[in-house]
Amino acid sequence: MATDPEAATSPADGLLRRIGARVADQATVATVFGEPIERDGVTVIPVARVRFGFGGGAGGGSGPAHSEGSGGAGGGGAAVRPVGYIEMGGGGAQFRRITDPLDVLVLSAAASLAALAFGRLLSKRTRP
């Protein structure tokens, strides 16, 4: 006898399915690649980094030691950040990155730490 996986769901399963369906509805190509803009024979397509996260849970009590009831909760969120654009024209296409000042700061800090570590390594090797 086969059991239907949809029929044997707990309240938590149903909640997570509903949240997942909502996230899937919003995770479209248009979310990552915006509407193309055309001007003077050049088409520009915005590109973004999109992150989704969600979670939920449910529980219930039964018997004399637990309350008779159930409950559940869930939530989610999304973060969308522009990262560049695709420029199409003249028979070709090219991705152009939008530089975020924070990216430059992080790269500079990482390069400084690497230079410091390399300098210390060299000074230890040259000491008698």
DSSP state of 123: H
pLDDT score, position 9: 64
Residue 65: the pLDDT is 62
Contact indicator for 80, 49 with CB cutoff of 8 Å: yes
Averaged in consecutive runs of 10 residues, what is the pLDDT profile of the chain (128 residues)?
50 74 73 84 89 75 66 76 90 90 85 90 73
pLDDT at 3: 47
Domain count, the chain: 2
Provide the domain limits for residue 124. Answer: 99-128
111 and 86 together in one domain: no
Question: What pLDDT shows up at residue 127?
Answer: 62
CA–CA distance, 18 with 12 (Å, rounded to integer): 10
pLDDT of residue 89: 92
d(CA 85, CA 97): 7
pTM: 0.51
Residues 54, 37 share a domain: yes
> Does one domain contain both 75 and 105?
no
Please give the pLDDT value at position 112.
92
Same domain, 52 and 86: yes
